[in-house]
Structure 1
């Protein structure tokens, strides 16, 4: 068998302008499996391996679901294990991603980030990262300048808009909200990594990922600096039917 490419159509070129810097929009996150297993059976094949470190990532596609930029997409990786460690031996990238994921849950379910009631805490407990697939939340989108003029600038998630922020209600209704530009500065190019290496790979120190023990889920055990140690406050039990956005 052979493949004859002579009758193939010309390659598709990039089309469309970037979503303007600072745009508020209601977006859906879809996870693109990368073939690497996560820490729980639900996340089998869900993650993507970094090319130049031991980091494992969630490869996410974001789609605007309402408003002036409906159906427009952008993409972003979130480190969930490995990479550069902090002074406690925890993945810096995961701690950043974990904060973003919690904000997504709060935004999707209309939870105040200050609400630490048993009911609210239970909604923030997921049985696997796979349950974030399809989550819809309010967001502010930024334009990240390319570090190399050969590449295009890209849209990125600037921050999740939470229920206690003034723009939240209008964004979740699909209404137009005045943009709040981020004016992000260009990233510093790496002098040691290849030109095509993503930003997370240029500052990641190769480390051996910790062995996952049966029944232990890292994202339910790592708390913020203000949180009580896990041993002093039992984690809420997740709903048997999964997150609310999967049931609605």
Structure 2
């Protein structure tokens, strides 16, 4: 009789939830849903549409970059449109603005031309792979079980931002050129886009 020896197998990894309120540096990637609506600026196949509800969203995965929970993954949706009204889309816009502030080192109260430019994207591709400081929350999955999610980004006005983001440099810290309006574009090599779609206003 053949025996398979499992004595040398690794021990199980704990799948305890990441504690609610934990601050973690994450990389966000978007799972393409293939739904485009150029009139809304939704191009590149990034958006997902729920055929049952008519809602449109970004299906996002967040991977913890370092620390105790490194390589752990969480999933959340960023709302773009709901037939029920503007609230879900407004929450999504608020979240994306905070993500950009966090990723690009921009203080929420900074309304300089450079900071305003840092809060603009040319398309969802700019969000795919973006790294920022996120706050862990808990939500229920379809089976009623708790799961860890990211619903909020931590911005430079938070006391722990600098320590946890490490050397992340953003637009607000970049030297402003004489005209001031293209500081972020010059710092990143990305041109600003004057005609922004409705979701990026």
Give the 3 Å change call, closer, same or farther, for CA 116–41 of structure 1 in structure 2.
Answer: closer
2:115 to 114, 120, 139: 120
Give the 3 Å change call, closer, same or farther, for CA 122–104 of structure 1 in structure 2.
Answer: same
Query: Which residue number corresponds to residue 217 of structure 1?
Result: 197
Query: Which residue number corresponds to residue 159 of structure 2?
Result: 166
Q: Structure 1, residues 145-166: CA drift from partner, whole Å, max 9, x if none?
A: 45x7x44211111421110111
Partner SS state of residue 34, structure 2: coil
CA contact under 8 A between 2:36 and 2:42: conserved in structure 1? Answer: no
Give TM-score scaled by structure 1 length: 0.59
Query: Which residue number corresponds to residue 20 of structure 2?
Result: 21
How does 1:149-188 map onto structure 2 within 5 Å? 150-173=143-166
Query: Which residue number corresponds to residue 78 of structure 1?
Result: 78
Give the 3 Å change call, closer, same or farther, for CA 15–53 of structure 1 in structure 2.
Answer: farther
Partner SS state of residue 110, structure 1: coil
Pair 1:106 & 2:101 matched: yes
CA contact under 8 A between 2:41 and 2:197: conserved in structure 1? Answer: no
Give the 3 Å change call, closer, same or farther, for CA 50–42 of structure 1 in structure 2.
Answer: closer
How does 1:40-79 map onto structure 2 within 5 Å? 43-79=43-79
Partner SS state of residue 67, structure 1: coil
Give the superposed CA RMSD. 2.3
CA contact under 8 A between 1:27 and 1:63: conserved in structure 2? Answer: yes
Partner SS state of residue 47, structure 1: strand
In structure 2, distance between residues paired with 1:32 and 1:220: 19
Give the 3 Å change call, closer, same or farther, for CA 83–170 of structure 1 in structure 2.
Answer: farther
Q: Structure 1, residues 222-247: CA drift from partner, whole Å, max 9, x if none?
A: xxxxxxxxxxxxxxxxxxxxxxxxxx
Q: Structure 1, residues 37-78: CA drift from partner, whole Å, max 9, x if none?
A: 143777231111124222111000000001110000010111
Q: Structure 1, residues 156-197: CA drift from partner, whole Å, max 9, x if none?
A: 1142111011121122139xxxxxxxxxxxxxxxxxxxxxxx
Higher mean displacement: 121-130 or 14-23: 14-23
Q: More strand per residue: 1 or 2?
A: 2
Q: CA deviation at 1:112?
A: 0.5
In structure 1, distance between residues paired with 2:31 and 2:155: 25
How many residue pairs are counted as aligned between the two chains?
161
Pair 1:141 & 2:140 matched: no
CA contact under 8 A between 2:30 and 2:60: conserved in structure 1? Answer: yes
1:97 to 72, 92, 96: 92
CA contact under 8 A between 1:42 and 1:130: conserved in structure 2? Answer: no
Unaligned runs of 5+ in 2: 1-12, 168-194
